[in-house]
Amino acid sequence: MIDHAHDLACVRDATERLLTAVAKLDNAALAQPSRLPGWTRGHVLAHLARNADALVNVLEGRPMYTSAETRDADIERDAPRPLDVQLADVRESADRFQRTGAAPADWARTVELRNGVTDSAARVPFRRWAEVELHHVDLGVGYELEDLPAEFTEREIDFLAKRFSGHPDVPASRVTDGTRAWSTGRDAAEPEVTVSGPPADLLGWLAGRREGPALEATGGALPKLPPL
């Protein structure tokens, strides 16, 4: 059972960590490249703010974004803003998300995200938690995958493994950190490849943040994963 209230509290805590870190930057630092190709740190913050509003739309039954073009244009528009404006926007949009999440609702209902993807409403707070945590890492301000909460890392590995499950371009794989194991890739009676390593590196590989040099693949080469 997904505890959406617990996840909302985790989103709030993760947002505070991010805002505290970003508040130590300056306008020049926001204009510098993030770890995401083609995006500055300002782009990452603009995306986080607009994603919070988009998930409010999801929870309230509206389309997540008007269109892909509008989503991209909003991020480009907001990316160059100064630090104080960025901080206020991330905080205010996060507060709107928290207020929406606190409202009485049927959390078992199905909601629609981008590109026809559907999920239970109860999982939306975890999706937002992933946005905040991973994009905090993407900012390149000293917060690394190893710094992520252990609960989040384990759950995000599970989430991403399921996302690639059944994918025809990913070989049947067993993913393990030595104590826990997940299955992903094509359906098969037995895994073609076993990928093992520390949780942070497994998450980095699955999330497209690391190429996997610290991972060990047995039975075949480390699978190349499609973009998320």
Using alpha carbons, list the distances in angstroms from residue 94 to 42, 57, 121.
17, 13, 17
Q: 115 - beta bridge partners?
A: none
Q: What is the distance between the alpha carbons of residues 180 and 1, in angstroms, rounded to a whole number?
A: 20
The residues that bridge with 63 in the sheet, in sequence order, are none
Query: Which regions of the chain are under pLDDT 70?
Result: none
Q: Which residue has the tokens 């993807």?
A: 117
pTM over 0.95: yes
Short-list 134, 124, 136, 107, CA closest to 41 = 136
Torsion-angle region of residue 219: left (phi > 0), alpha (psi -120 to 50) or beta?
A: left
Pairwise CA distance, residues 54 & 77, whole Å: 16
The pLDDT, as a whole number, for residue 90 is 98
| Total residue length of the chain | 228
Q: How deeply is 28 buried, as exposed, middle or buried, from its count of CB atoms within 10 A (0-12, 13-18, 19+)? A: exposed
Residue 144 and residue 137 in contact, taking contact as beta carbons nearer than 8 Å: yes
- Enumerate residues 6+ apart whose C-beta is below 8 A from 50: 71, 74, 75, 78, 93
Mean pLDDT, all residues of the chain: 97
pLDDT for 228: 86
**What does the block give as tokens for 179?**
């104590």
Which pLDDT score, from 0 to 100, does residue 1 have? 79
Q: How far apart are the first and last CA of the chain?
A: 25
What is the DSSP annotation of 83-113? HHHHHHHHHHHHHHHHHHHHS---TTSEEE-
